[in-house]
């Protein structure tokens, strides 16, 4: 028999509070549990003068609530061997915990407290500004990381997706508790919150815990619709940097999270420059020619658009040759169908990677939360595998011609002085 108010599907359990907070739970037998609160608010939801505010809020949520000081927040789970952390992306903010399952109540109560009862003391805000300023400076000192952010800024331009997640020192200096509370009131709506749980917990007990701690938040009007990105224009830019290597990003606009060719692009990206050492770019540029220690491709999908890119770092005198090899690999993908054996191997590799990642319960909790936030559903692994198996060599070529058309590519280069 089912549990009233709790739906069961593909080993997952779902329920929604009257105020709109959604919960997804995956029961497991291990003693370690993972719980996350996912909020559909990130950098793209900031107004122009708020750049960096969603990330700043992620930091300051831990600095005190109506009943706890910063020390007590950090100690609440760490005193029992647990962990609490957070991250901000372009479209979401997430607070997540890892605990022994008997401390579920601690974790859920604490996350509700810091999400909705934080007081943002002015003294703590000023201290955290210095911490984030140091984070920005650290990021600026790493060209291999900063070029990703600068490339997105170049591709998306003045659109909110082009804004830095960390923000700028100029904006950071202006933030105060009033700015924070206005952003939270506008974006931290119960209907835009998902709680994701993986652990040895009965769904009825979990329902009671979540209801006790999250149902007191009143439902609010729907969130303001996000500004869609429509105006991509391929751009080439070179910046001269005091670096040992030259760094380069090549890419452009890609498919949104619900696009019919999204799975094909994920597979194509894995073939081109995914995490495995036998990717085409790694085999050609690093293994065959020894020109780059780090070369990789990536694909990030958002709710209404996406970005596909290739990163490489190499010696200045090897840069042109490395770039020509990359362009040659893209041309091969656009002009030559994968053979039956190649395609089968590529699919097996991606399915294997997904299966291994799913063995991590922390990764599973993250995937569940993001999926519910974006699609309001969880696809079974079997369905994911079937989608991969449906991809044909012809579709991969069509996607290559669309995404990696040279006329559509932007190029950002950090040229070493």
| pLDDT higher than threshold 60 for residue 81 | yes
Phi, psi of 299, deg, nearest 5: -140, 120
For residue 106, give the nearest of 21, 98, 118 by alpha carbon.
98
pLDDT tens string 330-347: 999 999 999 999 999 999
User: Region 12-35: what's the mean pLDDT?
Assistant: 95
7-9 and 12-16 beta bridge pairing: antiparallel
Question: Do 7-214 and 236-416 have matching folds?
Answer: yes
What mean pLDDT, rounded, does the chain reach?
Answer: 94
Which pLDDT band holds residue 184 (cuts at 50, 70, 90)? Answer: very high
Instruction: Tokens for 388, please give them.
Output: 């991969």
pLDDT of residue 1: 37
User: Region 125-149: what's the mean pLDDT?
Assistant: 93
Helix, coil or strand: residue 76: helix
Residue with tokens 């709680």: 195
Which pLDDT band holds residue 217 (cuts at 50, 70, 90)? Answer: confident
| pLDDT higher than threshold 90 for residue 11 | no
Q: Is the dihedral of CA 359, 75, 24, 88 positive or negative?
A: negative
Domain ranges of the chain: 7-214, 236-416
For residue 55, give the nearest of 39, 78, 34, 36 by alpha carbon.
39
Report the catalytic residues.
58
pLDDT tens string 115-131: 999 999 999 999 999 99
User: Region 387-413: what's the mean pLDDT?
Assistant: 98
User: What are the C-alpha distances in Å from 415 to residues 147, 155, 290, 315?
Assistant: 12, 19, 20, 10
d(CA 362, CA 98): 8
pLDDT of residue 8: 77
Q: Enumerate residues 6+ apart whose C-beta is below 8 A from 362.
A: 34, 96, 98, 198
Percent of the chain residues past pLDDT 90, beyond the cut = 91
pLDDT tens string 31-43: 999 999 999 999 9
| pLDDT higher than threshold 60 for residue 23 | yes
Phi, psi of 83, deg, nearest 5: -135, 150
Listed in order, strand segments (DSSP E) in 288-345 are 292-301, 306-314
> What crossing angle do the helices spanning 53-60 and 177-187 adopt, rounded to 10°?
100
Instruction: Tokens for 83, please give them.
Output: 């962990």
pLDDT of residue 3: 57
Judge whether 25 and 201 are in contact, CB under 8 Å: yes
DSSP 8-state class, residue 232? -
pLDDT tens string 344-394: 999 999 999 999 999 999 999 999 999 999 999 999 999 999 999 999 999
93-100 and 246-254 beta bridge pairing: unpaired
d(CA 219, CA 217): 7
Residue 277, Cβ density class (10 Å: 0-12 exposed, 13-18 middle, ≥19 buried): exposed
Per-residue buried b or exposed e for 163-174, using 16+ beta carbons within 10 Å of the residue's own CB? bbbbbeeebbee
Which pLDDT band holds residue 4 (cuts at 50, 70, 90)? Answer: low
pLDDT of residue 167: 94
Q: What is the pTM of this model?
A: 0.94
pLDDT of residue 55: 97
Judge whether 32 and 100 are in contact, CB under 8 Å: yes
| pLDDT higher than threshold 50 for residue 297 | yes
User: Region 284-295: what's the mean pLDDT?
Assistant: 93
d(CA 129, CA 173): 7
**Which of these CATH numbers, 3.40.50.1980, 3.30.830.10, 3.40.50.1460, 3.40.50.150, describes 236-416?**
3.30.830.10
CATH topology of domain 7-214: Cytochrome Bc1 Complex; Chain A, domain 1 (3.30.830)
pLDDT of residue 299: 98
pLDDT of residue 242: 86
> What crossing angle do the helices spanning 393-403 and 262-273 adopt, rounded to 10°?
80
């Amino acid at each position: 028999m089912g549990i009233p108010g709790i739906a069961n599907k593909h080993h997952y359990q779902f329920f929604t509070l009257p105020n709109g907070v959604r919960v997804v739970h995956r029961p497991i037998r291990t003693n370690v549990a993972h719980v996350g609160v996912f909020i559909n608010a990130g950098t793209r939801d900031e107004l122009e003068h708020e750049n960096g505010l969603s990330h700043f809020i992620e930091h300051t949520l831990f600095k005190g609530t109506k009943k706890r000081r910063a020390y007590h927040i950090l100690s609440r789970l760490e005193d029992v061997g647990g962990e609490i952390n957070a991250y901000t992306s372009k479209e979401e903010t997430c607070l997540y915990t890892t605990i022994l399952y008997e401390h579920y109540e601690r974790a859920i109560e604490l996350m509700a407290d810091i999400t909705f009862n934080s007081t943002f003391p002015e003294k703590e805000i000023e201290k955290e500004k210095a911490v984030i300023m140091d984070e920005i400076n650290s990021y600026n000192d790493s060209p291999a990381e900063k070029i990703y952010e600068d490339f997105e800024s170049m591709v998306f331009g003045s659109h909110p997706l082009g804004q830095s997640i960390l923000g700028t020192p100029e904006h950071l200096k202006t933030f105060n508790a009033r700015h924070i509370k206005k952003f939270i009131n506008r974006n931290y709506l119960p209907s835009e919150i998902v709680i994701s749980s993986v652990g040895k917990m009965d769904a009825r007990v979990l329902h009671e815990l979540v209801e006790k701690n999250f149902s007191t938040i009143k439902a609010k009007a729907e969130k303001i619709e996000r500004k869609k990105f429509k105006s991509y224009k391929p751009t080439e830019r070179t910046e001269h940097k005091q670096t040992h290597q030259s760094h380069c990003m090549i890419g452009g606009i890609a498919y949104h999270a619900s696009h019919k060719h999204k799975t094909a692009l994920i597979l194509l990206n894995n073939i081109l420059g995914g995490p495995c050492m036998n990717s085409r770019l790694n085999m050609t540029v690093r293994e065959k020619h020894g020109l780059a220690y780090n070369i990789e491709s990536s694909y990030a999908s958002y709710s209404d658009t996406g970005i596909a890119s290739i990163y490489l770092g190499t010696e200045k005198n090897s840069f042109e040759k490395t770039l020509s090899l990359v362009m040659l690999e893209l041309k091969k993908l656009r002009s030559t169908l994968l053979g039956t054996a190649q395609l089968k191997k590529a699919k097996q590799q991606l399915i294997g990677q997904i299966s291994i990642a799913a063995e991590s319960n922390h990764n599973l909790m993250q995937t569940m939360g993001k999926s519910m936030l974006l699609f309001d559903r969880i696809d079974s692994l079997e369905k994911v595998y079937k989608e991969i198996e449906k991809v044909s060599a012809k579709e991969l070529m069509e996607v290559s011609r669309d995404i990696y058309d040279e006329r559509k590519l932007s190029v950002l280069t950090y040229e070493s002085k």
